[in-house]
Structure 1
Amino acid sequence: MNHRISLRQFLPLAGITVSAFLFNTSEFMPIGLLTSIASDFQITEAQAGVMISAYSWAVTILSLPLMLLACKVEYRKLLLMTLGVFCLGQALSAFSSQYALLTASRICVACAHSVFWSIAAPMAVQLVEKEHRSTALSMVATGTSIAMILGLPLGRVIGLYIGWRMTFLTIGIISFLTLVYIWRVFPQIPSRSAFSVRQLPELVKNPVLIRLYGLTVVMATAYYTSYSYIEPFLQQIAGMSEEWITLTLILFGLSGLGGSVLFSRGYGHFRFGMLRLSFICMAVPPLLLHAASGSLYAVMILCAVLGMAATIFNVSFQAELIQHTSLSAAAVAMSIFSGIFNLGIGSGTWIGGMVSTYSSIAYIGYAGGGLAAAASAYCIFSFIKRLKQG
Structure 2
Amino acid sequence: MFNIKISSRNHAWISVISLGFAAFIFNTTEFVPIALLSDISHSFDMNKQDSGIMVTVYAWVVAALSLPLILLLGNTERKRLLTIVFILFIIGHIICYFAISFNWLLFGRIIVASAHAIFWSITSALAIRVAPYGKKSQALAIIATGTSLATILGIPIGRIIGEWLGWRSTFLMIGVMALLVLLILIKVLPKLPSINTGSAKNLPIIMKRPALVGIFIIAAIAVSGSFTAYTFIEQFSIDLVGMTANELTVLLLFFGISGIAGSVIFGKINTKHPLSLLPVSIALLTVALLVLYTSITSLPLFFTVCFFWGIAFTCMMLTQQIKVLDLASDATDIAMAIYSGIVNVGIGAGALIGHQVINYTQIEWIGYFGGAIVFMALCITFFITLRYKALFIERAKANTGTEIITH
- 1:203-238: per-residue Cα shift (whole Å, max 9, x none)? 111111110100000001001000000000000011
Show the counterpart of 1:386: 387
Partner residue in 1 for 2:17: 14
Q: Quote how far apart the aligned CAs of 1:324 are.
A: 0.6
Which runs of structure 1 show a deviation greater than 3 angstroms over 4 or more consecutive aligned residues? 2-5
Offset at residue 293 of structure 1 (A)? 1.2
Task: Give the C-alpha shift of residue 90 in structure 1.
Answer: 1.1
How far apart, in 1, do the equivalents of 2:343 and 2:197 lie?
Answer: 24
Which structure 2 residue ranges, 5 or more long, are not aligned? 392-407
1:29 matched to which residue of 2? 32
User: Match of 2:354?
Assistant: 352
Aligned pair count reads 388
- Contact 2:197 2:333 survives alignment (8 Å): no
Match of 1:330 in 2: 332
User: Counterpart of 2:268 in 1: which secondary structure?
Assistant: helix
Residue number in structure 1 paired with 2:259: 256
Report the RMSD for the aligned CA atoms in angstroms: 1.5
The change in CA–CA distance for 1:254 and 1:35 in structure 2 (over 3 A counts) is: same
**What one-letter code is carried by the residue in structure 1 that aligns with 2:164?**
Y
CA distance in 1, matches of 2:350, 2:118: 22
The aligned residue for residue 198 of structure 1 is 201
1:55-134 correspondence runs (5 A): 55-134=58-137
Structure 2 Cα separation of the partners of residues 130 and 388 of structure 1: 26
Letter in 1 for 2:340: S
Preserved contact between residue 5 and residue 132 of structure 1 (Cα < 8 Å): no
2:376 counterpart residue number = 374
The one-letter amino acid of 2:263's match is: S
The CA distance in 2 between the partners of 1:194 and 1:180, in whole Å, is: 25
The amino acid across from 1:188 in the alignment is K
What's the TM-score, normalizing by structure 1?
0.97
Give the Å deviation of 1:272. 1.9
Deviations 1:305-324 (A, max 9, x none): 00011111111100001111
CA distance in 2, matches of 1:131, 1:42: 53
Counterpart of 1:271 in structure 2 is: 274
Is 1:140 equivalent to 2:131 in the alignment?
no
Is the 1:5–1:128 Cα contact (8 Å) retained in structure 2?
no
Query: Pick from 335, 338, 341: which aligns with 1:339?
Result: 341
Post-superposition shift, 1:378?
Answer: 2.5
- In structure 2, C-alpha distance between the alignment counterparts of 1:11 and 1:187, rounded to whole Å: 11
How far apart, in 1, do the equivalents of 2:6 and 2:215 lie?
Answer: 31
Deviations 1:258-314 (A, max 9, x none): 000011111111222211221111101111111111211111111000001111111
Report if aligned partners of 2:16, 2:127 keep a CA contact under 8 Å in 1.
yes
| Secondary structure of the corresponding residue to residue 68 of structure 2 | helix
Distance in 2 (alpha carbons) for counterparts of 1:131 and 1:250: 32
In 1, the alpha carbon distance for the partners of 2:169 and 2:276 equals: 43
Secondary structure at 1:389 match in 2: helix
After superposition, the C-alpha distances for 1:12-64 in whole angstroms (9 at most, x for unaligned) are 11211010000000000000111111111110111100111000000010000
